[in-house]
């Protein structure tokens, strides 16, 4: 009879709660029930309601059942539902804290990666600076040797002509060093460098005619080294600049609401989630900003081609998942194009459920697998060399 009466009163529970359950005024509430009531009014209440609405609703439902059981003077059921409400509440708090810790861990990893990259860049700059200093020292030494040899020369005109030619040869060798010919054109550079030493020796001995002739060969060899090395050196500069631009894409992705980013061998990937309602292919209005912000990044990094990949979880028919992922990828690609990005840069592809990044056996894992990846493709060496 008590259970039937409780069911009849369920619809009026809000009024009972507002009145403090006056009907049970003769019996005090158990300590655990009072403790939970303080908890649901405490500082974690809004956090649980905002971030774990499902668990919040479950805890509220159990709490209402505990109140009804208390009203019916059923202490065991009151204790049972109170504890169920408390466990559900604590689970919601723990999940929220876990999300915060995961976010903090990701931020720490990004800071670590940035620091490591900064250290690598600093080491590279140091190496380049040391190489530049060495080149300058060699050039200074060369010019000092030329000046000393010229001071000893009595054949002013011949010495001046020879000096000018050897100076030109030394400048050419320095230019070859500047495009890293010692690494990219070993044979031609070594030949030019050896010839320069010989020209200096000839000049120092007063053999100006031979020094001038040898310097001419040095210039030709250095030009050959520059011609062979410069394209490779330029390609390295482009690749270095391109890698810096890819890292800049990851930095820019931090401005996209709810997005994740990562670096893959194929390029920079921005992952967008919760763009679509279940089974739908139209982007939710409140998530359009994330796609629009991604489009802005695509405009700012116009040198990269884009692949927009749709992914689903494994629920439903495989063919339908593939079709759904393709339609969603096209929807995102169309939105990016509509925000000022050249459609010729964009390829939309549906991957269905073939490339999960988490376990499809859990609700959280399936939520992570439902995503759209916007890939900023790293150019190939052949593309950079054009």
Residue-wise DSSP of 31-94: HHHHHHHHHHTSTTHHHHHHH-HHHHHHHHHHHHHHHHHHHTT-HHHHHHHHHHHHHHHHHHHH
348 vs 373: CA distance, rounded Å: 10
The angle at the Cα of 360, spanning 356 to 361, to the nearest 5 degrees, equals 160
Contact between 69 and 116 under an 8 Å Cβ cutoff? The reply is no
**Is the pLDDT confidence value at 4 over 90?**
no
382 vs 238: CA distance, rounded Å: 12
**pTM, 2 dp:** 0.52
**Is the pLDDT confidence value at 149 over 70?**
no
Confidence of residue 151 (pLDDT cuts 50, 70, 90): low
Name the residue among 371, 235, 244 with its Cα closest to residue 304: 244
Within the chain, what is the greatest distance between any pair of CA atoms? 129
Type and span of the H or E element at 14? helix 13-18
Confidence of residue 153 (pLDDT cuts 50, 70, 90): low
The number of C-alpha atoms within 13 Å of 49 and in the hemisphere containing its C-beta is 9
pLDDT digits (tens, 9 = 90+) for 237-290: 989 999 999 999 999 999 999 999 999 999 999 999 999 998 999 999 999 999
């Amino acid at each position: 009879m008590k259970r039937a009466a409780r069911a009849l009163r369920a619809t009026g529970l809000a009024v009972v709660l507002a009145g403090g359950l006056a009907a049970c005024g003769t019996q005090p509430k158990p300590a655990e029930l009072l403790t939970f009531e303080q908890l649901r009014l405490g500082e974690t209440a809004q956090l649980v309601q905002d971030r774990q609405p499902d668990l919040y609703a479950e805890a509220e439902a159990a709490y209402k059942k505990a109140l009804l059981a208390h009203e019916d003077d059923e202490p065991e059921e009151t204790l049972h539902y109170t504890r169920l409400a408390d466990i559900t509440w604590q689970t919601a708090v723990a999940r929220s804290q876990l999300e915060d810790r995961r976010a903090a861990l990701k931020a720490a990893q990004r800071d670590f990666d940035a620091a490591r990259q900064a250290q690598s860049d600093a080491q590279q700059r140091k190496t380049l600076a040391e190489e530049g200093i060495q080149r300058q020292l060699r050039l200074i030494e060369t010019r000092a040797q030329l000046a000393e040899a010229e001071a000893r020369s009595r054949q002013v005109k011949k010495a001046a002509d020879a000096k000018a030619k050897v100076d030109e040869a030394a400048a050419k060798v320095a230019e070859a060093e500047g495009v890293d010919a010692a690494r990219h054109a070993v044979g031609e550079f070594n030949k030019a460098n050896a010839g320069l030493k010989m020209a200096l020796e000839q000049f120092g001995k007063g053999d100006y005619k031979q020094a001038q002739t040898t310097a001419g060969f040095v210039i030709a060899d250095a030009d050959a080294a520059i011609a062979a090395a410069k394209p490779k050196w330029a390609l390295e500069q482009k690749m270095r600049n391109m890698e810096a631009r890819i890292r800049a894409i990851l930095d820019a992705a931090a401005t996209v609401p709810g997005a994740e980013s990562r670096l893959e061998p194929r390029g920079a990937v921005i992952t967008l989630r919760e763009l679509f309602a279940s089974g739908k292919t139209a982007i939710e209005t409140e998530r359009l900003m994330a796609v629009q912000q991604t489009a802005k990044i695509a405009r700012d990094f116009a040198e990269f081609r884009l692949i927009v990949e749709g992914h689903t979880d494994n629920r439903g028919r495989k063919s339908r998942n593939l079709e759904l992922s393709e339609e969603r990828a096209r929807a995102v690609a169309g939105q990016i194009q509509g925000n000022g990005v050249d459609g010729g840069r964009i390829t939309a592809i549906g991957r269905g459920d073939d490339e999960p990044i988490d376990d499809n056996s859990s609700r959280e894992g399936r939520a992570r697998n439902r995503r759209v990846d916007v890939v900023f493709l790293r150019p190939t060496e052949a593309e950079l060399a054009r």
